[in-house]
Each structure stands twice: as structure tokens, then as C-alpha cells.
């Protein structure tokens, strides 16, 4: 015989799902890392590039561009020579930090669980 279909005991269907909404902003390689490193204040391109080993300039500038387009961070060119560019989180960007923090915390727990 067949099995009854159970209703979900958890939540409404993802029509305009908050989970999906938020994940859109965290999508793409290095995205959460950028937000993490900007939490402490504005930071320059080459600084971030060094903060996050392994990322290529191309991918990275694309990432920053998308983050700026999405309103997560702002780009500020300074009149130095050679010109330097500072990135900082917007208010919207700061709203994401609780999520990032939680992910980091879980990351720590996972590492403790794995290595021992």
C-alpha cells in the first residue's frame, strides 16, 4: 500500500522565501569572506586581495562589482597616486553580519568536530 503524504511541520512554502532571498546576497565565491573582512571598517582592493588568499583579481573585482550593485557595499576612490579605492559596507551590508557570524560560529564547531 501507499504512504500518506504528511504536511510539513516547519514553515510556509518559499514564495518569496526569506532563506532564498538572503542566500542570493551570499552567493558566489568569496562573497561571505568579503563581508567578513569589511565588518571591521573600510578596506582597499589589494588589502582584501591579501586577506583572502587564493582569489584572482578578475573574480574579485567582479564580486565587488556585484556586491556594490546589490547595495551591500560602496566604492570610494581616493585622490591619491596611484589612486586607491576603499570599500565599505552599507547599512544593508551590515544587516548581513548576523548571518555571517552564525556561519562562522558553526564553522568553528565543525572544525572542532572534525579534527579531534
Question: Where along the sequence are the contacts to its own copies (CB under 8 A)?
Answer: 1-3, 5-6, 8-11, 13-23, 25-26, 32-33, 36-37, 39-41, 43-44, 46-47, 51-53, 78, 80-82, 84, 92, 95-96, 98-111, 113
Q: Does 13 bind DNA (CB under 7 A)?
A: no
Cα–Cα distances in angstroms (integers) from residue 47 to residues 7, 25, 31, 32, 60, in the given order: 50, 22, 15, 16, 12
Cell of 53: 588568499
Count of residues in contact with DNA, rule CB under 7 A: 28
Dist. CA 20–CA 56, nearest whole Å: 27
Task: Choose which of 20, 21, 24, 46 interacts with DNA (CB under 7 A).
Answer: 46
Amino acid at each position: 500500500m501507499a504512504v500518506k503524504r504528511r504536511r510539513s511541520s516547519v514553515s510556509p512554502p518559499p514564495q518569496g522565501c526569506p532563506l532564498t532571498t538572503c542566500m542570493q546576497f551570499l552567493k558566489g565565491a568569496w562573497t561571505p569572506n568579503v563581508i567578513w573582512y569589511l565588518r571591521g571598517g573600510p578596506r582597499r582592493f589589494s588589502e582584501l586581495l591579501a586577506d583572502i588568499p587564493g582569489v584572482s583579481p578578475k573574480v574579485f573585482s567582479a564580486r565587488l562589482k556585484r556586491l556594490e550593485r546589490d547595495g551591500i557595499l560602496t566604492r570610494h576612490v581616493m585622490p591619491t597616486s596611484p589612486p586607491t579605492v576603499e570599500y565599505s559596507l552599507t547599512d544593508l551590508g551590515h544587516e548581513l553580519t548576523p548571518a555571517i557570524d552564525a556561519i562562522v560560529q558553526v564553522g568553528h564547531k565543525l572544525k572542532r568536530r572534525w579534527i579531534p
